[in-house]
Structure 1
Amino acid sequence: MTVLLVGNFLSESGGTHGVCEELAVRLEDAGCRVITVSRSRARLRRLCEMVGAVWHHQREYEVAHVDLFSGDAFFWAEAVCWTLRRARKPYVLTLHGGRLPQFAHRWPRRVRRLLASAAIVTAPSNYLRERMLPYCARIVVQPNALELARYEFRARAQPKPRLVWLRAFHEIYNPALAVGVIRRLVPDYPALRLLMAGPDKGDGSLERARRLAGQNGFLDGHIAFRGSIDKRAVPRFLQEGDVFLNTANTDNTPVSVIEAMACGLCVVSTNVDGLPFLLEDERDALLVAPGDAQAMSAAVRRILTEPGLALRLSENARRKVEAFDWSMVLPGWLSIFEEAMIGRSNGCGA
C-alpha cells in the first residue's frame, strides 16, 4: 500500500527528528510506498504544502496519516482532514503533546468532530488515551518506538556525577531548571558535569539557561551546551552520562526519555502529564514535582549515594523499553493502516 504521512519532517533543516520521520523509514522497510509532507519551516508554507500534497497525490495513496497537536497545528490538521474527505481518502489521526487535553477542553466540539471523522485515532501513551476518551470512544495506543539494538545498554551500578539533558530548548521543557539543579550539586561534587543538547526553538530559553549558568561563575566547566544532536548520534551522546534529567513542565511520552532508559541511564524526571504513565517512581525512575530544583537535586544525590538504587533503576528501565522496539510496534501500524484502508474501523464511532 501507499501511505501519505502528514507531519513535520524538519530534521534536514535543523529541526527535531520526529516520530513521523522514523515511521516513514520503517514503513518503507516493510515494503510500503510512503509520501511525506512537509519539510518547510515556514508555518504558512508548511500548511499549503500539506493541503497541496493531499490533493495533488490523491491518485497515488490509499490511506493517510495525520499528526494532531494542539494550538495552531490543530487548525492546520482540520484543513488537511477536510481536504482528505473531499478526496475521499481514509485517514488515521495520531494525538500528540501534553497540552492537547487542555486544548480539547477549550474546543470540545471541534475536537470531537475532527476525531470522529478519522478511520482510526491513535495515541502514543495511555495518558493521552485516558484524557482524550471524552472526545473519542475508541483510541488505539501505539507507543513511540525505537530500534533498541542501536542503544547499547550499560548498567549504572556505580554512577558518576555525569548528567545529560536532551530536549528542545523551549519554555515547556524548562532547561533553566537543570542549571538550578547543578548549582545545588556542584559544591559537593566538584567533578560534576552536565551536558545539555537540543535544537533552539527561539523563545529565549537557551539564552536564559546560558545566562543563568554564567551568573553562577563557579559553574564554569561544569555545564556544556552541545547544540542540536543528529538522531544517529543520540546513543553515543547519552553514553556520556549516568543520570538523565527531564525537566519538562508539560510532556507526554518523550522519545528522549525512552532512549535514555534504553541506554541504562538513571532517569530523574518531573511528574507531569504522561510521564507517570511511562515512568514508575522508585522502580525505573525518580519523579519529582515540576520546577523544584531542590527536589530534583536531592533525587540525583540519592542515585549517586544510595546503595543499589542506581542499578535497580537502570536495569528496570531497560527492561521496560524492550516493548518499545520497532519489531514490536511496526506490525501494529501496518494493521492500523490496513484496517483504515479497507474500512473495517470507524474511528470514534466504533
Structure 2
Amino acid sequence: MGNVNQTAGQAAQVLMIGTSLDSPGGMTAVVRLYRDMGLFEAWNIRYLASYEKPGVPTQLRVMAGALLTTLWLLLRGKVGLLHVHSASRGSFWRKSVFCALARLFGVPYVFHLHSGEFPVFYRDECGPRARRWVERTLRGAHTVVALTGLWRESLRRIAPGANVTVLGNPVRVPAALPPAPPPRGQVLFLGRLRDKKGVYDIVRAMPAVLARAPDTVFTLAGDGDLHGTARLAEELGVAHALRLPGWVDGAAKDALMDGADLLLLPSYFEGLPICVLEAMAQGVAVVASNVGGIPEALEQGRCGALLAPGDVEAISSAVLSLLADEGRRLRLRGAAHARAQQVYSTQAVTSSMSALYRAVLAPPQGAHYVR
C-alpha cells in the first residue's frame, strides 16, 4: 500500500505528500522519524505516497490515487495544511500539482525541499515557462523549508519574496557516546552507488590508501551500480578490500556504523545527508565533500573533514590522516556528537516543525507534543 492513513476516521488537519514510506532513501527516512517521534499523531497527519517504485503503470496508479484522494479531501474541507516533501525533477513536478490544487482551494502549503540539485535543475534544465512554474510554486507556499542557510539564500534568489525558513533533518542522538573503540581500519559509505555520490572516486582512492594501510576495508553499502563498482575495483586490483553488501537499513546499518572508523561521502551534490547526521550522532568521524548542507552541518570542518568533490588524492589523504591520527578522530567525534545533539536531534527538529504547523493551524484538542 502506498498510502498510509495514520488516523483513520478522523479529519485530517495536515495532509502530507511524499514517497512511499517503504522506499529506501534519506527523504523517507526523515518522514519516518517524524512519524516515530509522534508528529503524525500530534497533528492528525494523513500521509499519501505520490511515488512508490519504478515502473510507469505503478507510478501512474499511485500518483492518480494520491491526486484523487487529495481532491476528495479538499472538496470536503478536510485539509487545513498541505505539507509536500520534494526533491528535483520528477519529484518536483509531481509535488507541484498538489501545491497547485492547494492554491486553487485556498489551503496553505509547506514546500519541504530535500534536493541539493534543485538550483542546477532550475538553472540548467528548466525553460522559461518551467522556471515561472517553479517560482510560482515556491512563492505560493506558506513556508518553504530549506535544510540549510545556504539553501535558503539560493531559494530566495530563485523566487524573491518566497517565505523560506531553515529546518535541518532530524536524527536520533544518544545522550552520551560510549567509549571509543580501538581503530579497526573500517571505512564506510552509505548511499546509492552512482557517479554523483563519488563512489568511483572512492574506489580510485583505494590503491593509495592500501599502499600505506593494507588492512583497510572499504564497505560501500547501498543500491545502484554494484556491478560497475566491483568491476572498477577488479581493474584497480583492490577488490579484496571492498565490501558491497547492497542496501542496508535498521539493525544492519547500525552494525556497520558501529564498526566503522570513519564515514566517507565524497558526493558531487547533496542536500543534508542523513548518513552524515547519523555518523555525527553515533560518534563516527566524517570525511565528506564541501557541497550542499555538509559544510554547515560539520561547522566548516570543526566537526569533520571536508574536501572538494572529484579530488581522488584528497580522499586518500583524508582517509589515511584520520586512520592514523586517533586524537584528531576522537576530537571530531566529540564535536560532531555535541552539534548533532544541539541542532539535529529529533526533539529539536520535531519541536520546530510543530511550531511551524502551529503558525498555521490551531492544534487538535488534547494533542500531545514531542518536546
TM-score by length of 2: 0.83
Hey, what does 2:367 align to over in structure 1?
none
Pairing partner for 2:197 from 169, 173, 185: 173
Q: Is 1:77 paired with 2:95?
A: yes
Q: Return closer, same or farther for 1:78/1:120 CA change in 2, 3 Å cut-off.
A: same
Q: Paired residue for 2:19? A: 8
**Aligned pair partner of 2:171 in 146, 152, 156:** 146
Structure 1's 130 and 13: CA in aligned 2 closer, same or farther, altered over 3 A?
Answer: closer
Q: Measure how far apart 1:131 and its partner are.
A: 1.0
Trace 1:34-53 onto structure 2 (pairs within 5 A).
34-38=45-49, 40-41=52-53, 42-53=58-69
Distance 2:178 2:232 in 1: 32
RMSD: 2.3
Cα distance per residue 1:58-103 (max 9 Å; x no partner) = 3433211012322122221221111223343221111221111122
User: What residue in structure 1 maps to residue 120 of structure 2?
Assistant: 102
Alignment of 1:200-239 (within 5 A): 200=224, 205-220=225-240, 222-239=241-258
Q: Distance in 2 between matches of 1:219 and 1:54?
A: 50
- 2:221 corresponding residue in structure 1: 197
Of residues 342, 347, 366, the one that matches 1:327 is: 347
Whether the 8 Å CA contact 2:257–2:279 is kept in 1: the answer is yes
Q: How many residues align?
A: 335
Secondary structure at the residue paired with 1:244? strand
Mapped pair 1:126 → 2:146: no
Q: Distance in 2 between matches of 1:290 and 1:264?
A: 23
Question: In the alignment, residue 7 of structure 1 is paired with which amino acid?
Answer: G
Q: What is the rounded CA distance, in whole Å, between the counterparts of 1:26 and 1:128 in structure 2?
A: 26
Q: Secondary structure at the match of 2:136?
A: helix
Q: Do the aligned residues in 2 keep the contact of 1:266 with 1:313 (CA within 8 Å)? A: yes
Residue-by-residue CA offset, 1:177-201 (whole Å, 9 max, x unaligned): 221222221122222111111233x
- In the TM superposition, residue 262 of structure 1 has moved relative to its aligned partner by 1.0
Q: C-alpha deviations, 1:100-131, integer Å up to 9, x for none?
A: 11223345422221112111111111121121
Deviations 1:129-162 (A, max 9, x none): 121112143311111001213x973465853311
Tell me the residue number matched to 1:345: none
| Aligned-partner Cα distance in 2 for 1:136–1:30 | 35
Distance of 1:282 and 1:13 partners within structure 2: 32
Indicate the residue corresponding to 2:43 in structure 1.
32
Name the counterpart of 2:365. none
**Contact kept in structure 1, 2:33 and 2:346, CA below 8 Å:** no
Change (3 A) 1:184 1:43: farther
1:93 matched to 2:118? The reply is no
Percent sequence identity over aligned pairs = 25
Which residue does 2:369 correspond to in 1?
Answer: none
TM-aligned CA deviation for residue 35 of structure 1? 1.2
Q: Please report the TM-score for the alignment, with normalisation by the length of structure 1.
A: 0.87
Aligned with 1:313 (options 314, 332, 335): 332
The separation in 1 between residues aligned to 2:281 and 2:229, in whole angstroms, is: 27
Q: Which of 86, 103, 113 does residue 136 from structure 2 map onto?
A: 113
SS at match of 1:184: helix
Matches within 5 A, 1:278-317: 278-306=297-325, 308-317=327-336
AA aligned opposite 1:102: V
Q: Is the CA contact (8 Å cut-off) linking 1:8 and 1:18 kept in structure 2?
A: no
Residue in structure 2 matching 1:20, options 28, 31, 42: 31
Deviations 1:189-218 (A, max 9, x none): 222111111233xxxx33221111222344
The residue type equivalent to 1:5 in the other structure is M
In 2, Cα distance between the equivalents of 1:156 and 1:183? 28
Unaligned runs of 5+ in 2: 1-11, 363-371
